[in-house]
Amino acid sequence: MSNRDATPESDLGSERVRAQGHEHVTAEHASTLEVTSDDWLTPAGDCIVAVEADRVPADFSAAFVTACRKPTATITATFAAGEYEQTVTGHGHPDLTFESDRSMVLRTSEYVDDRTVMVGADTAAAEMDRELVDALASGAQLRVTFVVE
């Protein structure tokens, strides 16, 4: 079920997601970075950095989605776990739908599907800070804050 209207975790320019690290987090993918609501992760999921997300793109507010559809929009996602933090910056795209009820993907490319929340990202999973990745592989809780300007 979608909460496209405002929720306590959103306002017009930001969305917050909480997720959980997992022992199979490797963050080795060269072009994507993903957070999923699934409660499992196999070693093959090398783009996934956290599981059990409490929100998915379909939950994001309509105002946030509209802002992200502007080609000139700058989107940042700040990943924080324990004492480690990293910000990924990319941009919007008119074809972003935010319809996925399962996962969110940040892409270094311009490819868009229902899971895409950012294109042209300056960081993929393989480029994430290794201390942050290690914390997530040890099961740390992840907080992701998306901001659109």
pLDDT (tens digit per residue) in 56-93:
999 999 999 999 999 999 999 999 999 999 999 999 99
pLDDT on residue 8: 39
pLDDT at 132 over 80: yes
48-50 sheet: strands from edge to edge: 48-50, 32-36, 103-107, 116-118
Q: Which residue has the higher pLDDT, 110 or 6?
A: 110
Q: Give residue 13's pLDDT.
A: 83
Ranges of each domain in the chain: 10-148
Q: Which residue has the higher pLDDT, 6 or 114?
A: 114
Residue 11 clears pLDDT 90, i.e. is over it: no
From the candidate CATH numbers 2.60.120.630, 3.40.50.1240, 3.10.180.10, 1.25.10.10, the one assigned to the domain spanning 10-148: 2.60.120.630
pLDDT over threshold 50, residue 24: yes
Q: Quick one: pLDDT at residue 12?
A: 61
